[in-house]
Copies of this chain bind each other. A is one copy, B any other.
């Protein structure tokens, strides 16, 4: 059920670049497998002792099993699309377009990979719309 983690490059000189390329691919695969409800495929990307955090609600999920259950049970017809992946060494940032039914929301996720190239930490932000404060209308346009 679990795919092998990708091998570390043997050549130290290009390690940083290869590491970043791996992280970029893992981050994109993470979204793809969530979107496709590919639970075995998602499992293969995650460290067993991974941690998932949502700072806005101060919620933390410990462990791959609980994180999978959280996603399998997540209510609604949710769909994810990558707006941007930014990878740097073993860290990645994901900018997502999330749809649930007719609703749309952007999300920002911060990923960390372990030594073996598995996702060890995810921190998710779900910024919601709000009304702009008064006093800056002369500087901005609205859309």
A residues adjacent to B (C-beta < 8 A): 16-17, 20, 24, 54-62, 66, 69-70, 73, 75, 84-88, 91-93, 95, 106, 108, 110, 125-132, 135-136, 139-143
A60 touching B141, Cβ below 8 Å: yes
Beyond known contacts A24-B88, A70-B140, A128-B130: 10 more, CB 8 A cutoff:
A16-B17, A57-B129, A59-B136, A59-B140, A59-B141, A59-B142, A60-B140, A60-B142, A73-B136, A84-B110
Interface centre among A108, A110, A126, A142 (most CB of B within 10 A): A108
Least CB distance, A26 to chain B, in whole angstroms: 14
Least CB distance, A45 to chain B, in whole angstroms: 18
